[in-house]
Structures are given as C-alpha cells and as structure tokens.
Amino acid sequence: QKEVEQDPGPLSVPEGAIVSLNCTYSNSAFQYFMWYRQYSRKGPELLMYTYSSGNKEDGRFTAQVDKSSKYISLFIRDSQPSDSATYLCAMSTNAGKSTFGDGTTLTVKP
C-alpha cells in the first residue's frame, strides 16, 4: 500500500467553480505538507506549503491539513482556465525526503 494516496481524477469543472483536491497518508511521521502544480511537459512548482494542522490561505488557494485523520486538501476558489494542470500532493518527515501522490489532473473549462 502506498504511503500517500491521491484522488486520481481527472477532474473537469466550469470556470468559476470551487475545486477540492485531496490526499490521504498512512505515515504518522509526516510533518510537512506541500502542494505542487505541474503544467504539461514542465517541472512541478511549489504552490502551497503547510506544517501544522489547520488551514493556510494564499489568494484563491487554501491548503487544509487534518493530522488526526491523516488527510490533506487543496481548495481552489473561482477556478480559472489557467489553473488547468496536474496537482501533486507531497509530504515529508524531518529527514527532508518528499513522498508524492500520483497527481490529479484538473481541467477548467471557459
């Protein structure tokens, strides 16, 4: 069983919709939680980074971590066509090595 499981998608939504992307994990030692955005044929770029349980907001993006349930989410409000990409969740322990989910491909239709 994988340490990190990500909702597979693909996901297709109309412009302006609220998007929810989700990952679960099994390793209690994970302390750092990241979301990366990857456009087609490009390298991933860090979108959100959180450390503790709770919410972190950055513009239209909100990252949510629930350590008790081992569940993390990324919410995108007022989604735009430019948000169309693959979203990867990633987690790491104090050792610094990241474990990635398989990614969810999102398409936002105008």
Partner 1 sequence: DGGITQSPKYLFRKEGQNVTLSCEQNLNHDAMYWYRQDPGQGLRLIYYSQIVNDFQKGDIAEGYSVSREKKESFPLTVTSAQKNPTAFYLCASSTSGRATGELFFGEGSRLTVL
Residue of 21, 23, 30 whose CA lies nearest to 5: 23
Smallest gap from residue 36 Cβ to partner 1 (A): 8
DSSP 19-41: EEEEEEE--TT--EEEEEEE-TT
Do 18 and 106 form a contact (C-beta atoms < 8 A)?
no
Question: Can you tell me which of 43, 68, 82, 110 binds partner 1, judged by CB under 8 A?
Answer: 43
78 counts as binding partner 1 under rule CB under 8 A: no
Q: Which is nearer to partner 1, 20 or 102 (CB)?
A: 102
Q: Does 87 bind partner 1 (CB under 8 A)?
A: no
The rounded distance, in Å, linking the Cα atoms of 17 and 63 is 17
C-beta closer to partner 1: residue 17 or 49: 49
Rounded to a whole number of angstroms, the minimum distance from the CB of residue 110 to partner 1 is 25
